[in-house]
Homo-oligomer: A and B are copies of this chain.
Amino acid sequence: MTDSNIDLRVIRTKESIRDALIKLIDEKGFEAITVKDITTKAKINRGTFYAHYQDKFDLMKKCEEEIMLELSSIVKTKFPSVMASLKTESAAVQPFPHTVSVFEYLNENSDIMRAVLGPKGDLSFQVRLKEFMWETLYGDNPFAFVKEESLLVPGQYLSSYLGNAMLGVVQQWLNSGRKESPQEMARILTTITANGPLFAAGIKK
Binding site for B on A (CB under 8 A): 31, 86-87, 90-91, 119-124, 126-127, 130, 145-146, 148-154, 156-158, 160-169, 171-173, 176, 180, 185, 187-189, 191-205
Contact = CB atoms under 8 A, between A and B. Distances in A.
B198 A169 contact: no
Contacts of A126: 123
Contacts of A124: 119
A66 to B, nearest CB: 21
Contact of A196 (B123, B127, B176, B199): B199
Number of copies of this kind of chain in the complex? 2
Contacts of A163: 168
A164 B87 CA distance: 26
B157 A203 contact: no
A126 B122 CA distance: 12
Interface of A is mostly: helix
29 contacts: A31-B31, A86-B198, A90-B203, A90-B205, A91-B198, A91-B204, A148-B201, A149-B202, A150-B202, A152-B191, A152-B195, A152-B202, A153-B187, A153-B188, A153-B191, A154-B188, A157-B169, A157-B172, A157-B173, A158-B200, A161-B168, A161-B189, A162-B165, A162-B197, A163-B168, A164-B168, A165-B197, A194-B196, A194-B204
Closest 10 CB pairs of A and B: A196-B196, A164-B168, A150-B202, A165-B165, A160-B172, A148-B202, A123-B123, A91-B204, A160-B168, A119-B127
A73 B34 CA distance: 39
A164 B172 CA distance: 10
Nearest to A119: B127
A197 B124 CA distance: 26
